[in-house]
Chain A
C-alpha cells in the first residue's frame, strides 16, 4: 500500500519533506538506542512533539498510584517519558493565518491521529492531544503538504510568531503587520542563530499600541507598528520591545527602540538571538528566559551589546527581500462590499453581532468571530467552517490568542446568513471577548505541570455565565476571565480582569485544589499592566467568588470606573477579606466535593505532576550537529546495504563534514556549508592546534576527512565504500571525544561577536 510519504511527495515543499525524513530517521535511531534520551527529547520537542500528563507511565486513579504498562516496555522518548504514552502535537500557525485547505487537513489529522478535537492555544497555535509518536511523521507530512510546519513549535527555540488577528482590517492600526510577522517567522525558522537558546523565545507583532492586539509587552520580543514622517515622507517601522514574559514572575518588556525602520527588524532580531544564545542562562532553567538576561544586564547595556553584534553581522539578503513584495501584499476579499440592510433580524443575531462582529476599516466588510468553547473545535466543525470560509471569505481565516477563529472580509450583507451557518455547526454562540469567553490552558487535563483543573473550572464558569449572560450588566459582560492550571501562566491570568491559577492547600492532612486570585490585569494597551495576586480560594468556591466580586464591582464602582481602576481603588486589604470569606474548606467528612477538582471525581492529589517539557532540554548546538552527522552516517549505512555505494560514499563524506562543521561552529559561528572552507577551517582550528588529536592515535582520524576531501577521483566499489563508512564512524567518534575534551578543559574559544575565519585571523 502506498504510504503518505509516497502519496504526498510532490505536494510537500522539499525542505519540509527532508526535515521530516530526518526526524523519522532520528526516531529509528532512538529505537535502536543510538540517541540519548535528553537529545532525542529536545529533537522531538523542536518538531512540536510534546509530552503529556501520565507519559512517565504513572497515574493516580483516585485511590492508588498505578503503573501504566505500555506495550513498548522500557523504550523511552525522553527522560522518564515512555515511548508509547500518548503525547501532544503542537502545530505552528504563524500570525494565526489559516486557509480552508489547511483547515481540512487539520480536521483530518485531528480525527485520525488524535481525538477529533483541534485545540486553539493562547499563542494562535493548534494542539492535538493523545497522539502516538509513531504517527507523528505522517501527521507532519500531511500538514507539510498544505505548507504547515511543526518545526520549533516547542523546545528551546523561536516559538510561533503571533500577531494581532485584526491586522490589515483594524481601524486603529498604523499598518498591516501581517507580512512582517510572516517574514519574521520565515527568517527565524530553523535559523542557525536560534538553535542554542537556554529557553523558548516568543515574538509578537501588533498594529497599534492601545488595544490588546499582539500583547507585545508580555513577549520576549515585541513589535508595535509605527509610522514616522521624515522629510515629509512616511516611513514604516516598529516600536520594539524586549524581555517581557509571564511565567511565575511576570516581567513587562523593556523598550529597546522607539522606532526601528522596517529594514532593520530582522537583522536586529538576529542580533538579539545571538546575544541571548551567547549570554543567556543555560544551567538554571528558572532564570533562562531572555527577560532575566535583560534584567541582569539592564536594557541600556543589553541594547549596546545587540547593536554591536548587529554591526558585525554578515549581510543577508533575506533581511529585506520580503520588503520588495510588500507593495503587492494584500488580502483579497471573496465578495464585494455590501452594507447590512435595515430589515428585521432575530435577537439571537443582534446579540451575536454585538459581541462577535467587528466592522473593518474597509467599508462594507466585517470580521466575524466563531467562538470556540475552551478553544476546542471538532473535526466535523473544522471542515464545515472551512467550507463556510470558502463560501464567504475565501482564505481569510485567523486563530486568536483568545482561542477563537476569525473569518475576515465578510461582506456585511452576508452576516445574517453567516451567523445562521455558524449556528448550524454549533459555533454561532454570542459572547466573544466577553466574560463568557474564558481563556484556559490545558491544566491537569493533559499538562504534566498542571496543579488544578483550569479547563474544568473554565467549563463550569462558562456554563454558569452563559445561563445568565443576557441578564448581566454591560460592565460585567465586558470583563475578561483567564485561568491557568499552575503558576506558569499559559492561560495568561496576569492580563485578565479576573485571573486564576491553580495551587493546592493541605487541609487536615489532605490536599485540596485551590486557585490563586489575580485581579485587575490589563488586556488593553498590549497587556499594559499585570494583575495583583490577592489570595487563594478553594477550587469549588471560585464561581461564588466571581459572583461576589462582580456584584461588588457593580454596586460600589464610581461613575465610569473600569474594573482595573476599581480594584486599585478598593485595595488589597478589602479584596483579601472578600477572598477570605470563601477560603474555608469544610472537613472531608462533611463535604467531600472540595477534595476533588472540577469534572474530575478522583480524590485530588499532586502525585500526577511530572517534569514538564516547557523548558525543553538544554542541548547545545554542537550536540545537534554531531547528532546530525550520526544520522547521515546511519543513512549512508542504509544506502550501502541497498547496494547504492556511490550514494553511501557521498553521504558518509557529508557526515564527516557535518561533524567537522559542528566543531568549527563552537569557535566560528558563521562557518559556511562550503566543503573547502570547512576542511580549511577544521585543519587550522582543530588539526594544527592538535585540539582534535587523540591521546594515542594523534591526528589519525582527521586524516580520514582530509583524505576523502582530497580524493576527487574516488571510485565506489564495495571495499572502498565499506572502509569509508568505517572511517566516517571513527571520525564522528573522534569529534564527540574532541567535544568532550573541550567541555572538560573549557578549551572551546569563547563565542565572540563576528569572529573571523581562522585563515584571516592568523594573518
Chain B
C-alpha cells in the first residue's frame, strides 16, 4: 500500500467462469493455445503452453505470455478463463483492472469462437473474479479490502454499468486477496468489452 493508504497493485488477476466448461477436456485447449501463438491471436508476446490437466483444481491449461499468463483454469474447483499480470501496469488502479479485464474478455471471446470447440464453451459475463497476486502489496485482509474498494467500485460500476452486484471475498487469510462480483442480469462479453472501451 502507498503512504496515503491506496493500493498500488500491479499483479492483478481476473477470471470469468465457464458456463458449460465441463463439456470440454482440459487437453482440448492445448492445440487451441498453440494456434493462438502461431497466429498472434492476442496482443501479447505469447511464449508457450503448459499442460496441468493432471493436477486437481489447478491451473488447467496455461498459455504462458511475457506480461502475464492466460489459462483455462480450475482453481477453486470452478472452471474459467483467467489472466494475471506479472509486469508493472500503467494507469490508475481502476484503469489497470480494466486493462487486465479486457485481456481476459478477449481471450474468452476467442475461446467461445474456437472452431475446435464447436460452440461447447460459453462464459458467464455476469460474474467476475478479481485477485491480487502480490501479498506484499495486498495481503488478504480487511485493510486491503478497504483500500482497494474505491478502485474496485469504480471499475465494477464501469463494467456493470451501474447495475447492482453482490460481492464475495475470500476469507482464508493465507489465500490471495480475492473478490468475486456478480450481477443478477446476464451480460454478454461484447457488451462488457464495449463498456470497458467507452
Contact = CB atoms under 8 A, between A and B. Distances in A.
A459 B75 contact: no
B30 A600 contact: yes
A588 interface: no
A551 interface: no
Contacts of B117: none
Contacts of A381: 55-58
Given A116-B75, A380-B75, A84 B66 contact: yes
A376 B50 CA distance: 12
Nearest to A381: B56
B31 interface: yes
B169 interface: no
A1 B66 contact: no
B56 A456 contact: no
Chain B: number of interface residues, binned into ranges: 35 or more
B69 interface: yes
A383 B170 CA distance: 15
B51 interface: yes
Contacts of A425: 56
Interface string B55-86: 11111001010100100000110000000001
Nearest to A71: B66
A373 B54 contact: yes
A592 to B, nearest CB: 12
A104 B58 CA distance: 17
A705 to B, nearest CB: 42
A426 B48 CA distance: 26
B159 to A, nearest CB: 25
B34 A1 contact: no
A117 interface: yes
A11 interface: no
Interface string A131-172: 010000000000000000000000000000000000000000
Given A61-B34, A69-B45, A378 B59 contact: yes
B175 A68 contact: no
B184 interface: no
Interface string A112-124: 1001110000000
Interface in A355-386: 373-374, 376-378, 380-381, 383
Interface string A581-610: 000000000000000000111100000000
Given A1-B2, A117-B59, A381-B56, A112 B174 contact: no
Contacts of A373: 54-55
A115 B55 contact: no
A753 interface: no
Nearest to A459: B54
B23 to A, nearest CB: 19
A71 B30 CA distance: 26
B195 interface: no
Interface in A24-47: none
10 tightest Cβ-Cβ pairs between the two chains A and B: A426-B56, A601-B31, A373-B54, A378-B58, A61-B38, A599-B51, A459-B54, A116-B59, A376-B55, A112-B133
Interface of A: 1-4, 7, 53-54, 59, 61-63, 68-71, 84, 86, 104, 108, 111-112, 115-117, 129-130, 132, 373-374, 376-378, 380-381, 383, 425-427, 445, 455-456, 459, 462-463, 599-602
Given A376-B58, A426-B56, 8 more contacts: A1-B1, A115-B50, A116-B75, A117-B52, A130-B64, A376-B54, A380-B175, A427-B56
